[in-house]
A and B are shown apart, each in its own frame.
Chain A
Amino acid sequence: MDPEVKELDIASLVNKAIAEHGATREAVIPILSEINRALGYIPAAALPEIRRHIHVPEEGVFLADSHLYSAASFYQLFSLRPLGRHVIRFCESAPCHVMGGRQVIQALQDELRLEPGETGEDRKWSLLMTSCLGVCGVGPVFLVDDDIYGNATPEQVAEILARYE
């Protein structure tokens, strides 16, 4: 997830996303998802590139950069700035909290030396808070990238983090 993504990469990514989801307004969120997934975030340069494909006045479809920015900034899973190589999403909703979440987040903060929302200077870790992930039966829960860790305890934190380069 290199913050300095080249123009050509963005263009080809957008083309690929458009090819898969179509060049319509309804495809905007899936397209943004693809880019976010590939790069870890949505670079500003991607928006005019997406707009280029979808803005077709000849067919009565008008799309401005502002529309895309407003959609991209609304959804929690999207990031508009580059994140760390590994992104931790810690569930801070009531069930996980009641099941002992407070101690686990404290352990994560201590281990990473990051406050919630921060990305480390070495760009290895981003620690983000998230709302309920829908695995409440095994709370407390946190994600590391796509891996789900349930029944988490403060003692497990160090070992879990050590698994990631």
Chain B
Amino acid sequence: MKVIRSMVLVSVDQASLERGAEEVFHTFLDEIDEFGLSDQIAVATIRDVGFRDDIPLVIVYPDAAVYGPVKPEDVHTIVEEHLHKGNIVPHLLAMMHELAPEIAWMRSRKGALPVQKRIVLERAGIVDPESLEDYVLYDGFQALGKALTQLTPAEVIAEVEKSGLQGRGGAGFPTGRKWSFVASTPGNPKYVICNADESEPGTFKDRLILEGDPFSIVEAMTIAGYAIGAHEGYIYIRGEYPLAYRRIENALRQAEAHGLLGDHIFGTDYSFYIHPHAGAGAYICGEETALIESLEGKRGIPRARPPYPTTYGLFGKPTVVNNVETLANVPPILRNGAAWYRDVGLPKSTGTKVYTILGCVNFTGLIEVPMGITLREVIDIYGKGMKDGKKLKLVQTGGSSGTIVPASLQDTPMDFDSFRNAGVSLGSGALLVCGEDTCVVDLAKVILRFFRNECCGKCTPCRIGTLRLYEIMSQISEGKASLSDLEVMQKISEAMSEVSNCGLGQTASTALRDILKYFREEVEAHITDHVCPVGVCPIAGHSPELILVQQPLHAG
């Protein structure tokens, strides 16, 4: 396994490229290879380094050393002295008396290198997802074997607890604690449910795990079953993922055929069966009690909680419900030990997180990085910068139910605690990047429309609240609203956040509230001036003359 200890970022914005940055980049790759350091040093590119004379810049992590301007002939020195021997090269450093805000983040950031570390996505794209042999070749089923033959259920739970693994579906609940609770709750039989109803807009990480490494989920669920004393599991896959469903079915079949699932696994006393179940198009079924209702053949309506599924779950029995990504972390933890997992990420937010990068960036896709990376790094290093060089305006983190992070907060480390302190939520890891061409009213409208469509209808504040919020936002986008409508929305949003029956209602107006907090002037422009500053909304009879670059307000 590669253990990256250092990262080199080369600036490749237009100006840098004109000054030979591309050659610098390739020279670094060659030199590092020459010194035999390819397994320890990662090289990547960065676009947004601010307006400077001393470009191309080369930034070396984690030392926070900034070199510039760097010429191809300087590269050898940097690699030999700094990367190989560990000594910073003073005469090549850039003038740092005024560190540009675009790169000032490296001084204050906490956390590990922003290098991808594939734990749950280790095999995706590498193994044949339909081949049991491939899986086993890549350490598959070792963790299960260890659990069943060397560890007691209590020891399995202890290891997971020690690892600090927290739920990756959005709630962040400590996984080991959940398992421990169900293991000790009286009741029979018990169930393990894998929540593969990934429907949060912008989120497709679970899809990749299910389609790319389905056996890992089979193994993980069986470990969970062993830990809590369950003999049956269900995997609820959303209906829009037919390929994932087929691959899981295939994995179940092959595992069972080889004694790795079903009766007497590994020849031990333990038996575990997994039933695949396809959903039929309902975001709300990602809520664990709604998922259980749907599994039982009914409408996906969230139950009153308490009781929670850990006491009263599927068919009224104690049930563990875990997200796909959470489960995918389990076999590596058991294989390599809790201490290994704790080493990745931060003390309070251990391990990695899968992020999906979407929106107005050059590269959209999926990355798996240790906890603690910042948005700026994600956008610049992995998103390869804003599309068409537009300015960043905001990022919605965690899907449509997530918070809005204005550009001013893009240097906040992305871990559960830091984000919470900044009033932002990590959620499912979807990162929707929006540039200056995005109108916040238009965005809010689309988000509220989603919740109006997906609301289950059980509770008053959400059922009617999501409709009213969408209606009013539509009116704002058409220039037909008044300022008092903002107060009405505030009132509805407050009630929804406090007294809805489930998380959908509680978070449906999160984006709206953040937009009003950070971008109120832009919203009010639609109302009082009948103008859409970005020029997107169908405000009748007015052409978008003014294009204001919105300065986001800082929080508090």
Min Cβ gap A55→B in Å is: 12
A131–B451 alpha-carbon span in the complex (Å): 10
Instruction: Report A-chain residues with C-beta under 8 Å of the C-beta of B294.
Output: 29
The verdict on A78 contacting chain B, using a C-beta distance below 8 Å, is yes
Write the B218-231 contact mask toward A (1 if CB under 8 angstroms, else 0).
00000000000000
The answer to whether A94 touches B296 (Cβ under 8 A) is no
Q: A74-B456, A132-B199 are in contact. List 12 more A-B contacts (CB 8 A).
A: A26-B296, A32-B280, A75-B279, A93-B446, A94-B396, A95-B432, A98-B434, A131-B201, A133-B240, A134-B203, A136-B358, A137-B365
The verdict on A160 contacting chain B, using a C-beta distance below 8 Å, is no
Min Cβ gap A131→B in Å is: 6
Partner of A137, one of B201, B358, B454: B358
Partner of B204, one of A25, A75, A135: A135
Nearest-CB residue, chain A, relative to B295:
A26
Name A's B-contacting residues (CB within 8 A). Answer: 24-30, 32-33, 36, 67, 70-71, 74-78, 92-95, 97-99, 130-139, 146
Instruction: Report B-chain residues with C-beta under 8 Å of the C-beta of A98.
Output: 358-360, 432, 434, 438, 443
Min Cβ gap B455→A in Å is: 12
Partner of B280, one of A76, A94, A95, A97: A76
Residue pairs across A and B with CB atoms within 8 Å: the count is 130
A74–B400 alpha-carbon span in the complex (Å): 21
Q: How many residues of B contact A (CB 8 A)?
A: 49
Most buried by B among A28, A76, A98, A146: A98
User: Interface segment, B297-305, B327-335, B524-532?
Assistant: B297-305
The answer to whether B280 touches A78 (Cβ under 8 A) is yes
Instruction: Report A-chain residues with C-beta under 8 Å of the C-beta of B358.
Output: 95, 98-99, 136-137, 139
A94–B454 alpha-carbon span in the complex (Å): 14
Instruction: Report B-chain residues with C-beta under 8 Å of the C-beta of A29.
Output: 277-280, 294, 297
A136–B356 alpha-carbon span in the complex (Å): 9
The answer to whether B297 touches A71 (Cβ under 8 A) is yes
**A contacts with B: majority SS:** helix
The verdict on B535 contacting chain A, using a C-beta distance below 8 Å, is no
Enumerate the 8 nearest inter-chain pairs by beta-carbon distance, A residue then B residue, closest first: A76-B281, A75-B280, A77-B281, A28-B297, A132-B201, A93-B201, A25-B297, A134-B204
Nearest-CB residue, chain A, relative to B442:
A97
Write the B27-61 contact mask toward A (1 if CB under 8 angstroms, else 0).
00000000000000000000000000000000000
Partner of A71, one of B298, B396, B434: B298
The answer to whether A137 touches B364 (Cβ under 8 A) is yes
The verdict on B147 contacting chain A, using a C-beta distance below 8 Å, is no
Most buried by A among B204, B281, B296, B297: B297
Instruction: Report A-chain residues with C-beta under 8 Å of the C-beta of B280.
Output: 29, 32-33, 36, 75-78
Nearest-CB residue, chain A, relative to B234:
A26
A140–B199 alpha-carbon span in the complex (Å): 16
Instruction: Report B-chain residues with C-beta under 8 Å of the C-beta of A132.
Output: 199-203, 283, 400, 450
Nearest-CB residue, chain B, relative to A135:
B204
Min Cβ gap B518→A in Å is: 17
Instruction: Report B-chain residues with C-beta under 8 Å of the C-beta of A78.
Output: 280-281
The answer to whether A93 touches B281 (Cβ under 8 A) is no
Most buried by B among A77, A93, A133: A93
Nearest-CB residue, chain A, relative to B244:
A134
The answer to whether B298 touches A67 (Cβ under 8 A) is yes
Nearest-CB residue, chain A, relative to B449:
A92
Min Cβ gap B447→A in Å is: 5
Instruction: Report A-chain residues with C-beta under 8 Å of the C-beta of B456.
Output: 74
Could you write out 22 A-B pairs with CB less than 8 Å apart? A26-B296, A29-B294, A30-B278, A33-B239, A33-B278, A74-B456, A75-B279, A77-B281, A93-B446, A94-B447, A95-B201, A97-B442, A98-B359, A98-B438, A98-B443, A131-B281, A131-B450, A132-B202, A134-B203, A134-B240, A135-B207, A137-B204
The answer to whether A95 touches B296 (Cβ under 8 A) is no
A130–B201 alpha-carbon span in the complex (Å): 11
The answer to whether B299 touches A74 (Cβ under 8 A) is yes
The answer to whether A131 touches B199 (Cβ under 8 A) is yes
Instruction: Report A-chain residues with C-beta under 8 Å of the C-beta of B198.
Output: 134
A131–B366 alpha-carbon span in the complex (Å): 20
A25–B315 alpha-carbon span in the complex (Å): 11
A30–B276 alpha-carbon span in the complex (Å): 10
The verdict on B238 contacting chain A, using a C-beta distance below 8 Å, is yes
A33-B239, A134-B241, A136-B204 known; A94+B281 contact, CB < 8 A: no
Instruction: Report A-chain residues with C-beta under 8 Å of the C-beta of B217.
Output: none
The verdict on B282 contacting chain A, using a C-beta distance below 8 Å, is yes
Min Cβ gap B384→A in Å is: 14
The answer to whether B281 touches A75 (Cβ under 8 A) is yes
Instruction: Report A-chain residues with C-beta under 8 Å of the C-beta of B240.
Output: 77, 133-134
A55–B167 alpha-carbon span in the complex (Å): 39
Instruction: Report B-chain residues with C-beta under 8 Å of the C-beta of A131.
Output: 199, 201, 281, 283, 450, 453-454
Nearest-CB residue, chain B, relative to A21:
B277
Partner of B242, one of A67, A92, A146: A146
The answer to whether B365 touches A24 (Cβ under 8 A) is no
Instruction: Report A-chain residues with C-beta under 8 Å of the C-beta of B207.
Output: 134-135
Min Cβ gap B189→A in Å is: 14
The verdict on B375 contacting chain A, using a C-beta distance below 8 Å, is no
Instruction: Report B-chain residues with C-beta under 8 Å of the C-beta of A77.
Output: 239-240, 280-281
A106–B450 alpha-carbon span in the complex (Å): 19
The answer to whether B200 touches A94 (Cβ under 8 A) is no
